[in-house]
Chain A
Amino acid sequence: MTVAPAIEAIDIVKFLGDGAGRVQALKGVGLAVSGGEMTLLMGPSGSGKTTLLSILGCMLTPTSGTVLLGGQTITGANPEQLAKIRRENIGFVFQSYHLFPTLTALDNVRLALDVRGDNSARAQQKSKEALARVGLALKMKSYPRELSGGEQQRVAIARAIVGSASIILADEPTAALDSENGHAIMVLLAEIAKDRERGVLVVTHDPRIVPFANRIVRIEDGKIVGEERAETKANSKRGRSRAL
């Protein structure tokens, strides 16, 4: 399997804050995410996971280093260009869902297409399909407050995949969920990662997620400290296995 990485970060250094609060959050980090696999980024709190995810997600620009998207560097892109890159290539899943409370599940998903200027009937149809894919075919008209945490996170996943993003970035997607719901979300993400056109990167420090990953990257104190490739059963047996 020699798929070119969908996104790749090379030698990333990132300083955050300024003055006395200036912190080197990343100290020369490299990480590539390829289509068709799920990568877990694990590490203790404060190790730089979110910072790295933000940089891969084109939300933060590194102090130094390069981010390649489909082989092209994004260095020097302005905020508007970065926004365009995000809406066309990247789907996000956040720990606290970040759904729009005043919109239905369907509209929340459709929003990802709407910001691309696609508000056709086809967009509506795609959004319904995405919701069906995450198992919410019957909750399309519900508002976020009418949904459980797990359901809200499914809506967020539908929003991330509806635009056929080549990369899905999820920051602690199960942290706010109980183990049953967290498990279901991971099954879903693993499922989504099977698409060869799409790579999934999940940041977590939840060891229960490990069985779902193809690859685990460990980060500590702003540096990558290890990487393991796992032949998980997630790929073959719908992720019900506990084996690594």
Chain B
Amino acid sequence: MSLAPKLAFRNLFHDRLRLIATVIGIVFSIVLVTIQMGLYVSFERMVTVMIDHADADLWIVPRGTKCFEDPSLLDERERFRALSVAGVASAAPLVIGFAQWRTPTGGNTPIFMIGSDPRDAKLRPWNLIEGSADALAIPGAVAIDRSYFDRLETTRLGDYAEIGDQKVQVLAISNGIRSFTTTPYVFAAIDRARAYTGTAANKASYFLVRVTPGANVIDVRNRLRAQLSDVEVLTTGEFRDRSANFWLFGTGAGAALFAGALLGLIVGTVIVAQTLYSSTKDHLNEFATLRAIGSAGTYIHQVIIYQALLSAVIGFTIAAVIGWIVVVATADTALPVVITPLMTVMLLLLTVTMCVLSAVAAILKVMRIDPAMVFTR
């Protein structure tokens, strides 16, 4: 085996204190990046959760809609016009909007209604732990999420409350349908949702289009765009991107998360570069000896890069464990940190890149040494 990795390993472990500083730098940096990116992914998933769970190929949305939660209204006439377009199999109305939830004890809390036709629901609650989505056909039935029990002062299936002076009964309970805003989602039948949100009977927030089997979604979209005025027609992907962009970048939340991640990377790189540089300075005599006995520049670079890579592996391993703990600890919170396998691979590459970049300063330093210094030291 070549001695370069051995030298790197020994150099690294020779000064434990510095190794600890290096590893802390890497761990700090990577954990920070992990959390920021994990929040980003989580936030992105949350802001598009309704679009992702809706059964639609195309969305007919009011002109200028920025995101799913943007409450403007469409006219039913547009739906009939859409149904006459070739390739459209169905166009189901969806009503969304804010309403007031009044608890039995008289408390008031804002909620976000989602109403669709209970017999042909294109957006029904999922992950139900109690009750059934079909129960929403019963007049006054609503579905809520378990995580909002406190807020809605509800404790179990069958509890009563009021929305806008009308009596409702909780007949389905889901697990994990959470909003990134603090307003709870409440599902109901579309006619009831219209009543709760004060929407006229001939209006709806969206029309969810399914295309006929074999029809090209883009072609149908284009035909719909040509036929309908005053609305926008978006594929599910387009609506999803628009919503995500609005929340992540329109609001600055995404930029803040990215800035945090970038800051973490910069701090990490500086710490690792600093410790690697001072380690190299301490071992300068040895590097000069290597040079004197005729080692190529690449051999010396190898030693330093191995040092960087070893630090990266140690740091990443610890950061991964901490990241995993954070994921588990936040899983049940309003904004869980989400780490995907792809993210894990990217974070590893990022750690390695960061450490190798940090080695540059040390390498530049070592290449300036004069091998003749071994005679005078």
Contact = CB atoms under 8 A, between A and B. Distances in A.
Interface of B: 1-4, 6-7, 10-11, 14, 285-286, 289-297, 299, 370-372, 374-377
A88 B293 CA distance: 9
A74 interface: no
A140 interface: no
A49 to B, nearest CB: 10
A153 B297 CA distance: 26
Interface residues of A, number: 34
Contacts of A112: 293
A53 B292 CA distance: 12
B296 A115 contact: yes
A100 B375 contact: no
A72 interface: no
Contact of A85 (B14, B294, B374): B294
A114 B4 contact: yes
Interface in A60-95: 60, 79-80, 83-88, 90, 92, 94-95
B372 A60 contact: yes
B286 to A, nearest CB: 6
B296 A80 contact: yes
A54 B7 contact: no
B294 A119 contact: no
B286 A90 contact: no
A5 B126 CA distance: 89
Given A60-B372, A107-B6, A114-B3, A86 B294 contact: yes
Contacts of A171: 375
Contacts of A54: 372, 375
Given A54-B372, A59-B371, A60-B372, A115 B11 contact: no
Contacts of B297: 79-80, 83
Nearest to B4: A114
A223 interface: no
A86 B376 CA distance: 18
Contact of A92 (B10, B11, B292): B292
B10 A102 contact: yes
Contacts, number: 81
Given A54-B372, A84-B296, A101-B14, 11 more contacts: A80-B296, A83-B296, A83-B371, A86-B292, A90-B294, A94-B375, A102-B11, A102-B14, A111-B3, A111-B293, A116-B294
Contacts of A57: 292
Nearest to A172: B375
Most buried by A among B1, B290, B292: B292
Given A103-B6, A107-B6, A94 B296 contact: no
B9 to A, nearest CB: 9
B299 A115 contact: yes
A84 B4 contact: no
A98 interface: yes
B294 to A, nearest CB: 3
B375 A87 contact: no
A94 B374 contact: yes
B56 to A, nearest CB: 63
B294 A100 contact: no
Contact of B372 (A59, A88, A159): A59
B377 A96 contact: yes
A50 B11 CA distance: 30
B296 A103 contact: no
A198 interface: no
Interface string A29-52: 000000000000000000000100
22 contacts: A53-B375, A54-B372, A54-B375, A59-B292, A59-B370, A59-B372, A59-B375, A79-B297, A84-B294, A84-B296, A86-B293, A86-B294, A87-B293, A87-B294, A90-B294, A95-B375, A98-B285, A98-B289, A101-B14, A107-B3, A110-B3, A115-B293
Interface in A110-139: 110-112, 114-116, 119
Given A94-B375, A111-B3, A114-B4, A103 B10 contact: yes
B296 A100 contact: no
B291 A114 contact: no
A100 B4 contact: no
A102 B292 contact: no
A124 B294 CA distance: 19
Contacts of B2: 114, 119
Contacts of B374: 92, 94, 98
Contacts of A86: 292-294
A60 B297 CA distance: 17
A100 B376 contact: no
Interface in A128-162: 159
A83 B289 CA distance: 11
A74 B171 CA distance: 91
A98 B373 CA distance: 11
Nearest to A203: B375
